[in-house]
Structure 1
Amino acid sequence: MQSDENYQFTAKVYDILDRTYFRKAASSPRNAVISILGDEPLKILDMCTGTGANAFAIAGARKNAKVIGVDISAAMLKKAAAKLEQEKISNVKLIHTDASKLQFPNEEFDVVLISLVLHEISPDLAGKLLGEARRVLKTAGKLIVVEWEEPVSQLKKIPFYLVKKLEPAAFEDFLKCEMDQYFFQFGFEMMQTIHCAYSKVMVLSKNDHI
């Protein structure tokens, strides 16, 4: 388990990466997520919300949505709570909890978002997170997963090298995963993949595999 000091460092690093790699609105994965959601009054779970960047962006763009961000790191949530207070966002709720052991009832959410998380954690923990995501997602709901994607352009591979250096040893293996098969084992069917700057947004539905 990381200390709060390590989590604070991680939070700063990811905020810098966010501003560096996703600064162009047209190719930002966050904007792709927002466009997928539409204007319906959705109940959205942001698993491992971190400092809340996705939750706040969604809540600001989709006023009818109710966003709940959960994270196990008190340090990250403290930073998120400060942003929440500063920006006066009313349709976001932050909860300090373990995303692999959620207290929500079955089929509680229209959308579950997992952004830049799965490559960071062990396969066992990833399975638990996806199991909980499936449990709390409504039958007709959407799981939206944002993950890094190595660019084809040799020029863009240069800045992506920094991402590789900061990520765990198994990161490159995860990048090469056949994502359709990966998510199928956890009871999800790939519906759509949107390629963004250094990343991809995957939209999945529940299947009957589990």
Structure 2
Amino acid sequence: MGADENYQFNAKIYDVLDRTYFRKAASSPRNAVISILGDEPLKVLDMCTGTGANAFAIAGARRNAKVIGIDISDAMLQKATAKLGQEGISNVKLIHMNAANLKFPNEEFDVVLISLVLHEISPDLTGQLLGEARRVLKNAGKLIVVEWEEPVSRFKRIPFYLVKKTEHAGFENFLKCEMEQYFFRFGFEMTQTIHCDYTKVMVLRKDD
């Protein structure tokens, strides 16, 4: 399967997976992200926005926020654009852009969100994404990263096993990473971790 076909396939199943693993509001990583943001008039960048689920949830819950979702995949953005027309949300903008080469000025955003991306990409590409995130983030801003986390509950390990089977060979090693050290290498300091169903939400700031 080529890259374009892979993106098209992922666009079709992305929201199905979302409803399966993040359907409980009380333990949803999306609601955890929204709670971190507060009600301030923030400018938020959703890197690799996919079908826009995070961007739309943030914009709908935080009307004072201006949310920009970027993605390199036309298939993902087409689906996101169709959804945006149905949502009736005016404080979201979708842009076709490479997250490794952002076309934004330095210190443009109060918040940068990277959700379920880092486990999928190479160390070199991770460095590029986090380097760009650091560049466009304001000095007092927050980087929020959502990533998979293996559940403790045996009951929840069953559906999580399906996640592990569909990911690449290095996925389990990524799950075992010491995240504070992981992000420190890229110039970020961990300030908070929220544990959700199947995921964790990590809040970081620029390391001076």
Coarse TM-score class (shorter-chain normalised): over 0.9
The offset of 1:26, in angstroms, is: 0.2
* Residue 112 (structure 1) aligns with: 112
Question: Aligned partner of 1:205: which letter?
Answer: R
The offset of 1:166, in angstroms, is: 1.1
Listed one character per residue, the Cα deviations across residues 1-20 of structure 1 (whole Å, up to 9, x for unaligned) are 94433212112222111100
Structure 2, gaps ≥5 residues long: none
Matched, 1:9 2:9: yes
The offset of 1:179, in angstroms, is: 0.1
Kept in 1: contact 2:66–2:91 (CA 8 A): yes
* Residue 51 (structure 1) aligns with: 51
Equivalent-residue separation in structure 1 for 2:134 and 2:47 (angstroms): 12
Kept in 1: contact 2:146–2:200 (CA 8 A): yes
Equivalent-residue separation in structure 2 for 1:207 and 1:109 (angstroms): 17
Counting only pairs closer than 5 Å after superposition, residues 55-70 of structure 1 correspond to structure 2 as: 55-70=55-70
The alpha-carbon distance between structure 1 residues 108 and 2, as it changes in their structure 2 partners (threshold 3 A), is farther
The alpha-carbon distance between structure 1 residues 27 and 50, as it changes in their structure 2 partners (threshold 3 A), is same
Equivalent-residue separation in structure 2 for 1:12 and 1:79 (angstroms): 9
The offset of 1:168, in angstroms, is: 1.2
Counting only pairs closer than 5 Å after superposition, residues 78-89 of structure 1 correspond to structure 2 as: 78-89=78-89
Number of equivalent positions? 208
The alpha-carbon distance between structure 1 residues 27 and 139, as it changes in their structure 2 partners (threshold 3 A), is same
Equivalent-residue separation in structure 2 for 1:11 and 1:199 (angstroms): 20
Equivalent-residue separation in structure 2 for 1:136 and 1:50 (angstroms): 20
* Residue 157 (structure 1) aligns with: 157
Equivalent-residue separation in structure 2 for 1:57 and 1:151 (angstroms): 24
Equivalent-residue separation in structure 2 for 1:77 and 1:182 (angstroms): 30
Listed one character per residue, the Cα deviations across residues 24-64 of structure 1 (whole Å, up to 9, x for unaligned) are 00000000000000000000000000000000000000000
Q: TM-score, normalization: structure 2?
A: 0.98
* Residue 148 (structure 1) aligns with: 148
Q: TM-score, normalization: structure 1?
A: 0.97
Equivalent-residue separation in structure 1 for 2:92 and 2:169 (angstroms): 34
Equivalent-residue separation in structure 2 for 1:189 and 1:139 (angstroms): 12
The offset of 1:89, in angstroms, is: 1.1
The offset of 1:191, in angstroms, is: 0.1
Counting only pairs closer than 5 Å after superposition, residues 1-210 of structure 1 correspond to structure 2 as: 2-208=2-208
The offset of 1:160, in angstroms, is: 0.4
Listed one character per residue, the Cα deviations across residues 78-100 of structure 1 (whole Å, up to 9, x for unaligned) are 00001111212100000101000
Equivalent-residue separation in structure 1 for 2:90 and 2:43 (angstroms): 14
Listed one character per residue, the Cα deviations across residues 145-173 of structure 1 (whole Å, up to 9, x for unaligned) are 00000001122111100000111111101
The 4+ residue runs of structure 1 with deviation greater than 6 A are: none
